[in-house]
Amino acid sequence: MSSGMPLPVQRKIDSVLQRVKEPETLRSIGELNLVRRVRYSESEKRLIVFMDIADPRSTCMVCSIVNEHLGSSIRRELQREMEREFPGFSVEISG
């Protein structure tokens, strides 16, 4: 994720990215590369997770609704797991 990030922190983040699954395929968001970057600040007790979920290219209204629902579900689960892994930290999911 980020050079200079302490190895124990990196391992915790990697663990979260393997636990959180994309609901349609049940593959981990780490495996699917749905997280572009994680910014970690020990001094500020803050994590910012930058997602890489693209908008669908389809003009199908139903497809857009399904995609938005899946993205929201992934973000909620990621938020919950990061907060569980990093208690006391502010966690922000971006993108």
User: Both tokens of residue 82?
Assistant: 């990061």
Of residues 61 and 17, more confidence is placed in 17
Distances (CA, A) of 62 to 26, 49, 52: 21, 28, 21
Which domains does the chain show, CATH number per domain? 7-94 (3.30.300)
The pLDDT, as a whole number, for residue 73 is 94
Per-residue pLDDT of 21-59, as tens digits, reads 999 999 999 999 999 999 999 999 999 999 987 666 677
Write out the H or E segment, with its range, that includes residue 35: strand 35-41
Stretch 7-25: mean pLDDT, rounded? 96
Question: pLDDT category, 1, cuts 50, 70, 90?
Answer: very low
Closest CA to 33 of 48, 53, 16: 53
What is the rounded distance in angstroms from the CA atom of residue 39 to the CA atom of residue 50?
A: 8
What is the rounded distance in angstroms from the CA atom of residue 80 to the CA atom of residue 95?
A: 16
The pLDDT, as a whole number, for residue 55 is 66
Q: Average pLDDT over the chain, rounded to whole?
A: 91
